[in-house]
C-alpha cells in the first residue's frame, strides 16, 4: 500500500508533526511512503522519503523539493508539459494542531476527493477546541473533568479551588499550559496561555491522578489498542512530549481490572462513533474515586499512537478500505430549466 504522510502545517506544533512523520518510516515498514510537507506558508512539497530528516526542514533545504498543487483528485507536480499526479492510495493526516486538527486539511481532502485518514470536519472542530470537547462529552453522556472557561477579555477570577491547571483552548502538546498552586500565580499563568490563544479552560489539578490512554478506530469492527497507563511526572511539558511523539515501540497494558477497562472502552466508543469514523484517535481518561472522566481527545495523536497497537500497519490498511464516503450529489439543473421554460411560455 502507498501511504501519503501529510505533515508540517502552520501550527505551534509544526516541529512535533515533523517528528511524528519521520517516526512513520520505522512503523510502516511494509508500505510505500510518500511524504508531503506543508510548510509554515502553507505550500505543499514532495519530500524524498530516503532523504527525510529533521535538518532538511530546520535548514530550509526542503524548498529545493518539488512544489505541489492541489487539484481535483489529488496532489500534482506541474511542469512545462502538463501536470503529473502524485500516486498514493490514502493520505494519513499527521499535521498536529492548527491546519491538521482544526478541520482545514479535512476540508481540502473532501473538497478535492482525496481519500484520507483523519477526523472529518465536524469531528475536527469539536476535538480541536477543548471547550467544545466538554460540550460534546456532555451531550454523549461521557463525564469529563470539571472546568471553568475564561477569554482574554474576562475578569481574571475563578471559583475552582487551587491547585488548578490552565490550558489554552486550541493547543496541544502542553504548549502554554501551567499548574497554578495559589491565587497569586494565576495572572502569570493566564499571561502565558493568552500568548497562544484568546481562550483558556481552567481545571482542578489532581495530584497523583490515575490516567489511562485508549486509542482505536472502527473498520468493519472495533479495533481498540491496549489501555495504557502513562508513566508521567506532574505533567509532560513541551520538551518531554516532543520526545514522546517519536515513540515506535510497543508499551505494556495497564494493570487494571476488566470492569475498569470496560468502562474506559465504553466511553471511548461513545466518543468515537459515528463522529470520528475514518480516523485513528486517542482519548485520555482520568479515574477519580472509581469514576472514569474524559480528560481530552487527541484527534491526531503523536505518531498516531502506533505503540499501543499489535498490528498498527494492518489496521491502517483495513481502515483505508472502510473510510466514510461523502454523498455524491447529482446536479441536473431541472429547477433552472423549469424556470426558463415558464418564462418562455410567459
Question: What does the H/E/C string look like for the chain?
Answer: CEEEEEEECCCCCHHHHHHHHHHHHHHCCCCEEEEEEECCCCCEEEECHHHCCHHHHHCCHHHHCEEEEEECCEEEEEECCEEEECCCCEEEECCCCCCCCCCHHHHHHHHCCCCEECCCHHHHHHHHCHHHHHHHHHHHCCCECCCEEEECCCCCCCCCCCCEEEEECCCCCCCCCEEECCHHHHHHHHHHHHCCCCEEEEEECCCCCEEEEEEEEECCCEEEEEEECCCCCCCCCHHHHHHHCCCCCCCCCCCCCHHHHHHHHHHHHHHHCCCCCCCCEEEEEEEECCEEEEEEEECCCHHHHHHHCCCHHHHHHHHHCCCCCCCCCCCCCHHHHHHHHHHHHC
In this structure, which CATH number among 3.30.70.870, 3.30.420.40, 3.30.470.20, 3.40.309.10 belongs to the domain 125-144+208-320? 3.30.470.20
For 2-118, the fitting CATH number among 3.40.50.20, 2.60.40.10, 3.40.50.620, 3.40.190.10 is 3.40.50.20
Distance between CA atoms of residues 178 and 237, nearest Å = 9
- Does position 149 have pLDDT exceeding 60, yes or no? yes
Find where cell 499527521 sits.
Answer: 94
Which pLDDT belongs to residue 67? Answer: 97
C-alpha cell at 214: 485508549
Helices 130-140/121-128 angle, 10° precision:
110
Supply the pLDDT for residue 43.
Answer: 97
| Terminal Cα distance for the chain, rounded | 60
pLDDT band, residue 239 (cuts 50/70/90): low
pLDDT at 191: 93
Q: Which residues pair with 298 in a beta bridge?
A: 282
pLDDT at 330 over 70: yes
- CA angle 101-65-71, nearest 5°? 55
pLDDT reading at 243 higher than 60: no
> How high is the pLDDT of residue 240?
53
Q: Is the dihedral of CA 267, 273, 275, 277 positive or negative?
A: positive
What are 213's three cell numbers?
490512554
Q: What percent of the chain has pLDDT over 90?
A: 80
| pLDDT for the residue 237 | 54
Band the pLDDT of 345: cuts 50, 70, 90.
Answer: low
115 pLDDT above the threshold of 60: yes
CATH 3.30.470.20 residue ranges of the chain are: 125-144+208-320
How much is the average pLDDT of 292-301? 95
pLDDT at 284: 95
Q: Is the pLDDT of residue 249 over 90?
A: no
User: How confident is the model over 202-216, as pLDDT tens digits?
Assistant: 999 988 889 999 999
Nearest to 16 by CA among 142, 183, 172, 170: 172
Q: What is the mean pLDDT of residues 84-88?
A: 96
Confidence band for 52, pLDDT divided at 50, 70 and 90: very high
**CATH number listed for the domain at residues 148-204:** 3.30.1490.20
How does strand 116-117 pair with strand 90-93?
Answer: parallel
Question: In the prediction, which pLDDT does 82 show?
Answer: 87
Residues of the chain with CATH 3.40.50.20: 2-118
Q: Does 186 have pLDDT greater than 70?
A: yes
Question: In the prediction, which pLDDT does 101 show?
Answer: 95
Task: Work out the average pLDDT over 50-57.
Answer: 94
Q: How far apart are the C-alpha atoms of 28 and 23, rounded to whole Å?
A: 9
For residue 279, the Cα-to-chain-centroid distance in whole angstroms is 9
Confidence class for position 162, pLDDT limits 50, 70, 90: very high
Note the residue count of the chain.
346
Mean pLDDT of 335-343: 87
Does the pLDDT of residue 113 top 70, yes or no? Answer: yes
pLDDT band per the 50, 70, 90 thresholds, residue 252: confident
The CATH 3.30.1490.20 domain(s) of the chain lie at 148-204
As a whole number of angstroms, the distance between CA 202 and CA 279 comes to 28
Cα→Cα distances 157→100, 148, 151, 202, 238, Å: 33, 10, 11, 11, 27
pTM for the model stands at: 0.87
Amino acid at each position: 500500500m502507498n501511504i501519503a504522510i501529510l505533515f508540517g502545517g502552520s501550527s505551534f506544533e509544526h516541529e512535533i508533526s515533523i517528528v511524528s512523520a519521520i517516526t512513520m518510516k520505522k512503523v510502516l515498514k511494509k508500505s510505500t511512503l510518500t511524504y508531503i510537507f506543508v510548510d509554515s506558508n502553507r505550500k505543499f512539497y514532495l519530500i524524498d522519503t530516503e532523504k527525510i530528516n529533521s535538518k532538511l526542514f530546520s535548514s530550509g533545504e526542503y524548498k529545493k523539493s518539488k512544489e505541489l498543487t492541489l487539484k481535483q483528485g489529488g496532489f500534482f507536480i506541474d511542469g512545462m508539459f502538463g501536470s503529473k499526479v502524485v500516486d498514493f492510495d490514502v493520505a494519513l493526516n499527521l499535521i498536529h494542531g492548527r491546519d491538521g486538527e482544526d478541520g482545514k486539511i479535512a476540508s481540502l481532502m473532501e473538497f478535492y476527493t482525496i481519500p484520507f485518514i483523519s477526523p472529518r470536519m465536524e469531528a475536527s472542530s469539536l476535538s480541536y477546541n477543548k471547550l467544545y470537547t466538554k460540550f460534546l462529552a456532555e451531550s454523549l453522556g461521557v463525564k469529563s473533568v470539571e472546568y471553568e472557561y475564561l477569554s482574554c477579555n474576562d475578569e481574571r477570577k475563578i471559583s475552582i479551588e487551587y491547585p488548578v491547571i490552565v490550558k489554552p483552548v486550541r493547543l496541544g502538546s502542553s504548549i502554554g499550559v501551567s499548574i497554578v498552586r495559589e491565587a497569586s500565580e494565576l495572572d502569570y499563568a493566564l499571561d502565558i496561555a493568552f500568548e497562544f490563544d484568546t481562550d483558556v479552560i481552567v481545571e482542578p489539578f489532581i495530584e497523583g491522578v490515575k490516567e489511562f490512554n485508549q486509542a482505536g478506530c472502527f473498520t468493519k469492527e472495533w479495533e481498540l489498542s491496549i489501555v495504557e497507563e502513562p508513566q508521567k511526572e506532574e505533567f509532560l511539558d513541551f520538551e518531554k512530549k516532543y520526545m514522546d511523539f517519536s515513540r515506535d515501540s510497543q508499551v505494556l497494558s495497564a494493570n487494571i481490572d476488566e470492569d475498569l477497562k470496560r468502562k474506559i472502552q465504553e466511553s471511548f466508543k461513545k466518543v468515537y462513533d459515528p463522529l470520528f469514523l475514518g480516523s485513528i484517535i486517542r482519548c485520555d481518561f482520568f479515574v477519580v474515586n472509581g469514576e472514569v472522566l474524559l480528560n481530552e481527545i487527541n484527534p491526531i495523536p503523536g505518531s498516531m499512537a502506533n505503540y499501543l497497537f499489535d498490528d498498527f500497519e494492518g489496521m491502517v490498511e483495513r481502515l483505508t478500505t472502510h473510510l466514510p464516503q461523502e454523498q455524491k450529489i447529482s446536479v441536473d439543473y431541472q429547477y433552472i430549466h423549469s424556470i426558463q421554460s415558464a418564462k418562455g411560455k410567459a
